[in-house]
Amino acid sequence: MKSVQRYIIETNRLRLREATPADAAFKLAIYNSPGFLEFVGDRGLRTIEDAETYLKERLIPSYEANGFGLYVVELKEDDTPVGTCGLVNRDGLNAPDIGFTFLPEHMRMGYGYESAAAVLKFGREALSIPRILAIVNPKNQKSIGLIEKLGLVFDREIQLPGDDHPISQYTTV
């Protein structure tokens, strides 16, 4: 029996839904993609079991605890998971931040902007979040371009707890 998916956000081409343990293979692939490893970092996920544990312990609890989290971005036409986009409540930040990452074969198709714009609207309108941040490796020009296209502006350089390098913080307000 196929599990029923709960879609949080829909756009013209995409649906965003909560992640489940069944997404472990997808998460393993995306978190070990070259761009993710270069610009976000190594999450230490090497097996499906590692990814399942990461989902169960780190990502899925956010939906209930915060009312939001990182969502799986799927194509409406065939339910193919292409990326992740959503809001994160991080230590060291005074507002939620928007995060996004896509499998390499689904980049440069507009899915990042389409899903992130919908997440920003959802955060502001449905969740009444007055300020949303974005954090990014200052060398990640593609993500910075998307963040700026979304209307966020550079705020300052910060260093999150446990991180070795400073990152750029952008804000909606």
Give pLDDT tens digits for 59-118.
Answer: 999 999 999 999 999 999 999 999 999 999 998 899 999 999 999 999 889 999 999 999
Q: What pLDDT is stored for residue 1 in this prediction?
A: 35
Check residue 35 and report its DSSP letter. H
State the average pLDDT over residues 12-32: 94
Residue 30 lies in a domain: yes
Q: What pLDDT is stored for residue 26 in this prediction?
A: 93
Residue 119 lies in a domain: yes
Number of independent structural domains in the chain: 1
Instruction: Write the single-letter amino acid at 49.
Output: E
Is the confidence at residue 38, as pLDDT, over 70? yes
Residues near 131 by beta carbon (within 8 Å), at least 6 away in sequence: 95, 171, 172, 173
pTM of the model: 0.90
Residue 157 lies in a domain: yes
pLDDT digits (tens, 9 = 90+) for 49-60: 999 999 999 999
b/e per residue 120-138 (b: at least 16 CB within 10 A): bebbeeeeebeebbbbbbe
CATH number at residue 13: 3.40.630.30
Q: What whole-number distance in Å separates Cα of residue 144 and Cα of residue 162?
A: 22
The domain in which residue 67 lies consists of 7-171
Check residue 110 and report its DSSP letter. S
Residue 2 lies in a domain: no
Contact at 8 Å (CB) between 123 and 132?
yes
pLDDT digits (tens, 9 = 90+) for 121-167: 999 999 999 999 999 999 999 999 999 999 999 999 998 888 888 99
Check residue 91 and report its DSSP letter. T
Residue 86 lies in a domain: yes
